[in-house]
Amino acid sequence: MKTVLHVNDTMGAGGGSEQFLRSLLDAPPRGWRPRLAVGRAGATGNDPSVPPLTLIKGLGGRLRQEAAAVRRFLAFAEHLQPRLVHVHNVLQPALLRTMTARFACVMTIQDHRCFCPGPGKVLPNLEICRARPSHQACQTCLKDRSYRSFMLSLVAERLDAISRMAQVTTLSRYMQSELLKAGLSPEKVSVVAPYPYWEPANSTGSSHTRSGKTEAGRNSIPMSKAAGGVSEGVAKTLRGEFQASIPRPPFVLGAGRLVFSKGFHFLIRAHAMLPEPAPALVVAGSGPSRESLEEQARTLARSNSAPVVFTGWIDHRDMLGLLQRAALLAIPSTWQEPLGITGIEALSLGTPVLASQVGGMGEWLDDTVGWPVPPGDATTLANTLHECVTRRDEARRRAAAGQQRVGQFFTKQACVTGMGVIYDRAIDT
């Protein structure tokens, strides 16, 4: 049995990148035993999907912590002697170079920070940025020259460190193409698509199948629908204070980090344009834009009687319950989303999806399985929202087609097998 050491900045904060890591910890490739090292950890409790983890202060943190993080990582890793190191959300250049000098390394890239010094390959006017990073190309997004110089240098260092990895994986063809444009070798960069992963309710949970039945397994909770459209495994987590704050179905759900690039301000504006009777809007997530989004919702509240509810941060199991209850998941992103895993999770549950046609989301969303919309257009978003919530038969038809697509292209078996091939390739390099 070979040991693979997964390295991440955090565990317990949630988010799509962490869910992918959890899926690899819970179902590693055959012949591999996972270990985990993180810079900081939230409440993982007795989660059986998380192996015993080691805290390494500064891992994935600020650059000024990097030298100490390198020393601590080496002390731990040289004692453990993993056959392979799998790097996730850690982008400290000196630390990455140290890892690749001592161990066979694989890295999974899930965002733009190693090839874009700005806000994710999108210009302030919401057009796609197709330029390679340079002072001239990046001055539109990064006005301050000294900060622009710093970010250009940092991105170049990150990319150089990543180029030393034995193998690099992405979750989408879009991200693969961006890394190839940035200069990484085609022989090194592969796509390993994720699958809809839900933390085990206990060590003898069940996994979802396309037929809606369950099968024994460790990677999911029971997905059979209970009263109110909430799975039996999640119903308990939606009781009490959180349960009371959620409006009765039907409601539109927007979920993600509350930052400008996620486009929630367009969603709130579009929701206010809906004719009566309009469904409620639930915004699940936290972030620096929450206060301004709440103020926007209050200002627009007189446009129709449908409430806008902000839940704050919620864990992934509560998110499952919301996705199952929602009439529709809306993903109004304005940046180039690497994949949009929440939309794939929603379709796997049979929940209709409306999403901006940006980045990697076009790889799973089209007008046969959901409602693609242009980014940053509140009027089109409002019209499409209205179509989604009023044409219920069509919404169910597209969602069913989407559920079938996810079941065909985003499977546990393909993910585990594909990562096993990458691991073997890395240690044979």
Q: What are the pLDDT digits (tens) for 70-80?
A: 999 999 999 99
Owner of token pair 């076009």: 362
Tell me what the mean pLDDT of segment 30-56 comes to: 80
With 60 as the cut, is the pLDDT of residue 211 above it?
A: no
How high is the pLDDT of residue 219? 32
Residue 10: φ, ψ to 5°: -150, 165
Strand 328-331 to 308-312 pairing: unpaired
**What strand order describes the sheet that includes 53-55?**
53-55, 32-41, 2-11, 84-87, 105-109, 167-170, 189-191
- Transcribe 310-359 into DSSP letters: EEES--HHHHHHHHHH-SEEEE---S--S--HHHHHHHHTT--EEEE--G
How high is the pLDDT of residue 402? 96
Q: Which two tokens stand for residue 378?
A: 């509140």
How high is the pLDDT of residue 194? 96
Instruction: Work out the pLDDT band at 209, boundaries 50, 70, 90.
Output: very low
The number of residues making up the chain comes to: 429
Tell me what the mean pLDDT of segment 286-295 comes to: 95
Instruction: Work out the pLDDT band at 18, boundaries 50, 70, 90.
Output: confident
| CA distance linking residue 243 with residue 44, whole number of Å | 22
Tell me what the mean pLDDT of segment 153-157 comes to: 97
How high is the pLDDT of residue 245? 66
With 60 as the cut, is the pLDDT of residue 264 above it?
A: yes
Tell me what the mean pLDDT of segment 382-397 comes to: 94
Domains of the chain, CATH where assigned: 2-195+412-428 (3.40.50.2000), 237-409 (3.40.50.2000)
With 60 as the cut, is the pLDDT of residue 229 above it?
A: no
Asked whether the beta carbons of 133 and 115 are under 8 A apart, the reply is yes
Instruction: Work out the pLDDT band at 48, boundaries 50, 70, 90.
Output: low
Q: Which two tokens stand for residue 172?
A: 């989408």
Instruction: Work out the pLDDT band at 94, boundaries 50, 70, 90.
Output: very high
Instruction: Work out the pLDDT band at 169, boundaries 50, 70, 90.
Output: very high
Task: Label residue 218 exposed, middle or buried (CB < 10 Å: 0-12, 13-18, 19+).
Answer: middle
With 80 as the cut, is the pLDDT of residue 210 above it?
A: no
How high is the pLDDT of residue 322? 93
More confident residue, 81 or 217: 81
CA-CA-CA-CA torsion for 337, 341, 347, 353, nearest 10 degrees? -30
Q: Residues of the chain with pLDDT > 90: what percent?
A: 76
| CA distance linking residue 158 with residue 152, whole number of Å | 10
With 90 as the cut, is the pLDDT of residue 203 above it?
A: no
How high is the pLDDT of residue 242? 58
Tell me what the mean pLDDT of segment 175-204 comes to: 86
| Peptide linkage before 277 cis (omega within 30 of 0) | yes
How high is the pLDDT of residue 347? 96
Give the mean pLDDT of the chain. 87
pLDDT digits (tens, 9 = 90+) for 355-386: 999 999 999 999 999 999 999 999 999 999 99
How high is the pLDDT of residue 61? 86
Task: Single out the residue of 358, 341, 330 nearest to residue 121, CA to CA.
Answer: 358
Tell me what the mean pLDDT of segment 32-37 comes to: 96
Q: Residues of the chain with pLDDT > 70: what percent?
A: 86
Instruction: Work out the pLDDT band at 31, boundaries 50, 70, 90.
Output: very high
How high is the pLDDT of residue 250? 87
How high is the pLDDT of residue 315? 84
Tell me what the mean pLDDT of segment 309-330 comes to: 91
DSSP-assigned beta bridge partners for residue 36? 6, 53
Tell me what the mean pLDDT of segment 111-130 comes to: 93
pLDDT digits (tens, 9 = 90+) for 329-358: 999 999 999 999 999 999 999 999 999 999
